[in-house]
Amino acid sequence: NAGVMQNPRHLVRRRGQEARLRCSPMKGHSHVYWYRQLPEEGLKFMVYLQKENIIDESGMPKERFSAEFPKEGPSILRIQQVVRGDSAAYFCASSPPVLGVASPLHFGNGTRLTVT
Amino acid sequence: GESVGLHLPTLSVQEGDNSIINCAYSNSASDYFIWYKQESGKGPQFIIDIRSNMDKRQGQRVTVLLNKTVKHLSLQIAATQPGDSAVYFCAENSGYSTLTFGKGTMLLVSP
């Protein structure tokens, strides 16, 4: 009964390096969402994906950030040329196919990115 | 812009008391609301949800109340326990099942 799996749990990168965060949704879930959380703040929506499609990326910074959810394998959130301001917890959530009725998102335990 | 927010950043209660956590929202088009609990180092955990066609929903020890007239949402926890200590977020559905989160209320339960 695996939930949403994220790895790595902790990631340290120097400024200018690339960060790759992975997320495997719950079994049977085909929708993935990425959120960012700064210390003592709420979660901020970044991007919503289905298999091979980006549905909504309105919360994603225009530069350096990208996300994908390939036909096979986990969803990947990629941050190029990281800066200290990218340090945060990044959470992935998944949901079953949306059939016109909203349903709760199920979250993983996040990846904590630290940029030194 | 429209957002979800909370009235109290920290709530301290004694074990056994009832807790009430409040949330105000401003998007009158929102039709689905969720309460999440987040413990340190973990992701948000679903507690209870409510749709806009209801004004009350009960779960195990928790009740969510929705007042659409004043755009207010509350989470009531009965007989609060130390294990309930966490940060609680309300969230509203803002299309495509994406959620807009409030800033959170920390609940501290003293034995």
Which amino acid, A35?
Answer: Y
Q: What is the number of alpha carbons within 13 Å of residue B81 lying toward its C-beta? A: 3
Asked whether residue A40 carries a pLDDT value surpassing 70, the answer given is yes
Which of B8, B47, B40, B104 lies closest to A41, judged by CA?
Answer: B104
Q: A25 and chain B: CB distance < 8 Å anywhere?
A: no
Q: Which of A1-5, A47-51, A111-115, B3-7 has the lowest mean pLDDT?
A: B3-7
Place A35 in a pLDDT band, splitting at 50, 70 and 90.
Answer: very high
* Cross-chain residue pair B102–A42, CB shorter than 8 Å: yes
pLDDT band at A104 (very low <50, low <70, confident <90, very high): confident
Give, rounded to a whole angstrom, the gap between the first and last alpha carbons of chain B: 41
Q: What secondary structure letter does DSSP report for A81?
A: S
The shortest CB-CB distance from A106 to any of B46, B95, B103 is to B46
User: Does residue B7 have a pLDDT over 50?
Assistant: no
- Rounded to the nearest 10 degrees, how much is the dihedral formed by the CA atoms of A31, A11, B88, A97? 0
Å between B68 CA and nearest CA of chain A = 18
Q: What pLDDT is stored for residue A100 in this prediction?
A: 61
Interatomic CA distance for residues B52 and B29, integer angstroms: 10
User: pLDDT tens digits, residue range B31-43?
Assistant: 899 999 999 999 9
Query: Which residues of A are less than 8 Å from B96 in CB distance?
Result: 48, 55-56, 98
- With beta carbons less than 8 A apart as the criterion, state whether A99 and A73 touch: no
Lowest mean pLDDT among B43-52, B85-94, B97-106: B97-106
